[in-house]
Structure 1
């Protein structure tokens, strides 16, 4: 006959073994879930040098001008433009219009209308641009940055017209 003490010891061993494996699996699953959520988050979008607006180059003479700014400026003989005049609307070529980027990650600015074209810069989300023309297949748009003279091609459908 078997001793009840032996059966009790065997039962305790198997229950302990099952509980130990369960605790190890639950802990491993929790650690895996933690690392998976940390690694699956998108990193912040880097800003490259060609995406930043060009800064005007200061000449040695312009470095001296802030020291002279205590003097009163001379009045200019030409009248200043009134606020109702918009110089940007005069510069737009026929068929061009103002738009704003709607793609959350921003757009790549390319030198020709192709995914294989060289990337010459970028356009940030919600940045104002000027649509100059569309490609023949209507999949690309030639744009000019509103704050500068840089032009390039972006994928169509990622901007909205600004009135």
Structure 2
């Protein structure tokens, strides 16, 4: 009888130990899985080395189709000013558009906006290469936008 009681007590404690150990192992597994942070998202305006993930315009979107209405004559464009030295023509590649700021920093006053695919003239870059001073094409409005959200266009 003593051996039967010993087996029962030993079996009971062994079952409790297995249940506690299994529960602790499962709890540690799920705690470790939730404790791993996800990869940091990379936005195109974080660094000038990161390219914008905006959708690329197709050739059909960039050039007028043959079935469209006739275009105006070249005299419709005002006399184009020569670009300042070091400046180049570009366009906005950020799909949501950009905020035009008075100074090259995030806390500067917002003085306007630039829409996706809008033509611009890039005048200069800030010292840290994180901002670009631009002028809206066909306008005299100038301001700063985050670098990496524009691309140079061939004329």
* TM-score scaled by length of structure 1: 0.48
Query: Whose helix fraction is larger, Structure 1's or Structure 2's?
Result: 1
Q: Which structure ranks higher in relative contact order (CA pairs < 8 Å, sequence separation ≥ 6)?
A: 2
